[in-house]
Amino acid sequence: MLSFVLAILPLIIVLVGIIFFRKSGALMAVVGWIAVVVLAVAYFHTPIEVALGATAYGIVKGLGISVAVVFTMLMIFMMREVGALTTIANAMKRVAASKEEQALFIGMGFGSFVTALGAVTPALFPPLLMALGFDPFGAVSVAVLGYDPLTSFALLSIPTTLPADSSAGLLGPANAFTAQQFALKIALYLPVISVGLALAMLWVIGGRGAMRRGVVPAVISGLVISLSALAFVAFNVVPVRIVGVLSGLLAMLTLFLYQRFKHRRDEPPKDQGPLDKKELTKALSPWLFLIAFAAMISVPEIGAALGKLPGSIEVVTVFANQRVDLDVLNQIYTWVFVAFLASLAILKPTKGQLKNVVKSWARKIGGPFVAYSVYFAIAYVMFFSAFEIANGVLAPGPFYRADPSYNMDVVVGATLASIFGFGFVYVAAALGLFGAVVGGSETASNMMFMKIQYDACSKIGLNQDKFLTVYGAHAAGGGIASSITPSKINNAVATIGEGTAMESLVMRKNLIIAFVLTILTGILTGILVGLF
């Protein structure tokens, strides 16, 4: 029990610092990293070179998200400077008249769509929502809640496909599973999670009144986005990588049709002139370029070809035998930056505007970059705790071989399994929540805790199919965690220039949402394991 408490202590320190002491997510990331390194070395018998190597490995592994955030912020700052966000906001008011409709259209439909393509809603949405008239709290909350209504189908379904591709190596060939099998298990949880997140968006922008006014479109959007994803993977009609893209599009279309039917009019309000479609297209050009590029790299043949182009040049040995293929041409951050450059020719910012953009960007990117990078570092220090480097190869050390509970991740999973027994299935989603908050992303959580979940399920007598159901709950919990992940909240707050008090407020409010949805996911897990 002492080992369990010490293993989760860095996370507790981070959460307490943000919520109660109102410290920034970036600062608490550093504090949490110091705590995890000290504990890994002093208590969990991890050589200092392994702890520092794991830190570097985590930072490099996190570049796909941290650099994407940095370039997305550059894009959004430029769009705000040239007035593109105001143009888009005015156009969206025609599609969605009320705050409730706007939150759902942007957070549920558009948020799922762009997140599935690889964009980062905490960096994209707060300035847009502020332009629509949302207060800072509502803008940040909708942005982080809108990151993952489809949980594991974000980022071209990397949180689903990467664990599936790695399952043979981590679990053995006999226990390997496909992306489609894993995606189906995750999709079973989406009707509860997606509808829950839709209602949560209404709650954060206007309490019970907003929920009462927007309950119908919230339920409609949540069911459309979740049931369409479930149908896509159940019948295996489209590649898993584009499930989120298509479901997000369907949600937007359904909300648009609902709002048209509800208002029963096409003419603009009296205080607005006719819509300038050319100006709107110009304002949307950065996102249109990004959508086109993201769709391009989502084609398997193109993605494979781009991955082979640089060859071994982009394979980096971080420490010992731990290598990372940067795969730069397949990373969304590359294409965010290319979309930014391409849109300059259309938006035509002046030299003064570009200077303001770069100054604002340089001043604000530090916190989000540090937060994302260091949370990944914390995750991998925990993952490699009690390992050693022997003859240039990273492997379990003597203490790990004698007792695997010297590994921080293992002790968390093993303790939960021993405490709850078969009831572990009800808390599996909470482990996913824990992993994603510590690691900064669901992908990191899914990868690091796959073996833990498998071992825990084996100890309580669950077969392979039931393990996948439990692991699907873990992934769903990781998706829910986006609403309280410190790195994402810090990123969203930075885009609108708010301070640490706003981070603390969003974290406190969203903790309630995350806990309720995780509890519901746990209950559903028990039902599904019992039925199938």
Q: What's the Cα-to-Cα distance from 386 to each of 44, 176, 521, rounded to whole Å?
A: 6, 26, 32
Categorize the per-residue pLDDT at 500 as very low, low, confident or very high, splitting at 50, 70 and 90: confident
> Both 167 and 218 in a single domain?
yes
> Both 505 and 526 in a single domain?
yes
511 close to 484: Cβ distance less than 8 angstroms:
yes
Model pLDDT, residue 43: 97
> Both 263 and 320 in a single domain?
no
Sequence-ordered list of residues with C-beta below 8 angstroms from that of 62, at least 6 positions apart, any chain = 372, 373, 375, 376, 377, 440, 441, 444
Query: Mean pLDDT for the chain?
Result: 89
Model pLDDT, residue 183: 96
Rounded distance, CA 491 to CA 70, Å? 9
Q: Is the pLDDT of residue 325 over 80?
A: yes
Q: Residue 375 domain-assigned?
A: yes
Nearest to 70 by CA among 362, 278, 309, 506: 362
Domain boundary among 275, 308, 337: 275
Q: What is the pLDDT of residues 42-51, one digit of tens each?
A: 999 999 999 9
Model pLDDT, residue 56: 96
Q: Which domain holds residue 271?
A: 83-275
Q: What is the pLDDT of residues 14-30, one digit of tens each?
A: 888 887 888 887 888 89
Q: Residue 68 domain-assigned?
A: no
Tell me which amino acid residue 404 is.
P
Q: Residue 27 domain-assigned?
A: yes
> Both 228 and 283 in a single domain?
no
Helix (H, G, I), strand (E, B) or coil at 389: strand
> Both 402 and 483 in a single domain?
yes
Domain boundary among 227, 250, 275: 275
450 close to 471: Cβ distance less than 8 angstroms:
yes
Identify any residues that bridge with 319 across adjacent strands, giving them in sequence order. 322
**Exposed e or buried b for every residue in 204-222, given b needs 16+ CB within 10 A?**
bbbeeebbebbeebbebbb
Q: Is the pLDDT of residue 509 over 80?
A: yes
> Both 140 and 254 in a single domain?
yes
> Both 232 and 116 in a single domain?
yes
Q: Residue 301 domain-assigned?
A: yes
Sequence-ordered list of residues with C-beta below 8 angstroms from that of 285, at least 6 positions apart, any chain = 342, 343, 346, 347
18 close to 503: Cβ distance less than 8 angstroms:
yes
Nearest to 457 by CA among 444, 445, 466: 466
Domain boundary among 221, 249, 275: 275
Model pLDDT, residue 371: 81
Tell me which amino acid residue 494 is.
A
Q: What's the Cα-to-Cα distance from 252 to each of 190, 245, 379, 514, 518, rounded to whole Å?
A: 17, 11, 35, 24, 26
> Both 210 and 252 in a single domain?
yes
Categorize the per-residue pLDDT at 161 as very low, low, confident or very high, splitting at 50, 70 and 90: confident
Q: Residue 422 domain-assigned?
A: yes
* CA angle, 345 then 351 then 352, to 5°: 130
Q: Residue 75 domain-assigned?
A: no
Q: Residue 355 domain-assigned?
A: no
Nearest to 66 by CA among 446, 326, 314: 326
> Both 270 and 285 in a single domain?
no
Categorize the per-residue pLDDT at 66 as very low, low, confident or very high, splitting at 50, 70 and 90: confident
> Both 33 and 91 in a single domain?
no
Rounded distance, CA 254 to CA 249, Å? 9
Model pLDDT, residue 215: 96
Q: Is the pLDDT of residue 119 over 80?
A: no
Helices (H), 235-321: 243-263, 277-298, 300-308
Helices (H), 43-120: 48-61, 63-81, 84-95, 99-104, 111-117
> Both 257 and 314 in a single domain?
no
Domain total in the chain:
3
Model pLDDT, residue 264: 59
> Both 459 and 507 in a single domain?
yes
Taking the complete model, does pTM exceed 0.85, yes or no?
Answer: no
Q: Residue 523 domain-assigned?
A: yes
Q: Is the pLDDT of residue 388 over 90?
A: yes
Categorize the per-residue pLDDT at 263 as very low, low, confident or very high, splitting at 50, 70 and 90: low
